[in-house]
Amino acid sequence: MKQPEVIIIAALAEANRAIAYNGKLPWNIPEDSQRFQELTLNHTVIMGRKTWENDLKQHPLKNRRNIVISSEPQAVKVISESVDYPFELLVFKSIEEALEKSQKSEKIFIAGGASIYAQALELADTLELTLVEGNFEGDTFFPEYQSLIGSQFKLVAKEDRPGFRYETYKRIAR
Ligand SMILES: NC(=O)c1ccc[n+]([C@@H]2O[C@H](COP(=O)([O-])OP(=O)(O)OC[C@H]3O[C@@H](n4cnc5c(N)ncnc54)[C@H](OP(=O)(O)O)[C@@H]3O)[C@@H](O)[C@H]2O)c1
């Protein structure tokens, strides 16, 4: 059976790799949010418990399998789905367990936050990064990845937008 593609998807400040400040994204880029929705639709999305609690619990990703990672799965609040709002929510104790239980997925997106990105960098096949220009204050950061470019990942696509750009990297070695 074909292995799922493991894709890190993140928006980060180009200057300092900030991904959040005070529990919120430091920017509002509707086009990037739309792209996140489009890329992840009908796939599996893995996130840390804090990202779930802060960002997604109120609006779980519809028509996707939401997976939350927590050391206390029973404490993660599960909202029941409705006919109008179909989504799936599973809670696992580790990223490895989540990946193991998602082997039938074609694509598995790793959607943060910082602690999950840091652990997933060595597992990822693809990086879908949105690099935001400018100086943003941050208290939560994407892991250092630039030193892996050339040795473990190569840039395969780049799309410029006003004030930000998309960069896609594919793994070339482990
Ligand atoms: N810019 C972006 O693209 C982007 C994307 C996503 C999130 N964010 C931001 O990132 C921030 C959250 O990042 P964060 O690093 O603080 O939190 P996080 O990664 O979302 O969640 C951390 C929690 O995940 C669980 N966890 C992580 N690794 C685990 C492991 N190996 N085993 C078991 N459980 C594990 C733990 O939950 P328990 O404490 O329950 O054990 C841990 O406290 C938010 O502000 C969010 O807005 C930004």
Lowest mean per-residue pLDDT among 22-26, 74-78, 107-111, 119-123:
74-78
Q: Peptide bond preceding 163: is omega within 30 degrees of 0, i.e. cis? A: no
Contact 140 CB / ligand 1 (< 6 Å):
yes
Rounded to 5 degrees, φ, ψ at 127 are -120, 125
Q: Where are the domains of the chain?
A: 5-171
CATH superfamily, with its number, for domain 5-171: Dihydrofolate Reductase, subunit A (3.40.430.10)
Q: Whose CA is nearest to atom 31 of ligand 1?
A: 94
CA-CA distances (angstroms) from residue 61 to 4, 57, 72, 88, 94? Answer: 20, 9, 22, 8, 20
Contact 46 CB / ligand 1 (< 6 Å):
no
Which of 47, 51, 58, 167 to probe ligand 1 with, by most ligand atoms within 8 A of CB? 51
**CB-CB contact of 143 with 155 (8 Å):** no
Write b or e for each residue in 121-134: b if 16 or more Cβ atoms lie within 10 A of its Cβ, otherwise e. Answer: beebbbbbbbbbee
- Beta bridge partners, 165, equal 131, 160
Tokens at 79, concatenated = 């909202």
Please check the confidence at residue 92 and state whether its pLDDT lies above 80: yes
Cα–Cα distance measured from residue 12 to residue 25, given in angstroms and rounded to the nearest whole number: 9
pLDDT range class, residue 81, cuts 50, 70, 90: low
Mean pLDDT of the chain: 94
Cα–Cα distance measured from residue 132 to residue 152, given in angstroms and rounded to the nearest whole number: 23
Q: Which atom of ligand 1 is nearest to the CA of 23?
A: 45
3-state DSSP assignment of residue 37: helix
Please check the confidence at residue 58 and state whether its pLDDT lies above 80: no
- Give Cα 118 to chain centroid, integer Å: 11
If you measure from the C-alpha of residue 95 to the centroid of ligand 1, how many angstroms do you get, rounded to a whole number?
11
Contact 32 CB / ligand 1 (< 6 Å):
no
Contact 148 CB / ligand 1 (< 6 Å):
no
Contact 91 CB / ligand 1 (< 6 Å):
no
Nearest to 14 by CA among 157, 156, 149, 146: 146
Contact 115 CB / ligand 1 (< 6 Å):
yes
pLDDT range class, residue 117, cuts 50, 70, 90: very high
Cα–Cα distance measured from residue 31 to residue 136, given in angstroms and rounded to the nearest whole number: 19
3-state DSSP assignment of residue 170: strand
Nearest to 61 by CA among 19, 83, 89, 80: 89
- Beta bridge partners, 158, equal 167
pTM exceeding 0.85: yes
Please check the confidence at residue 83 and state whether its pLDDT lies above 70: no
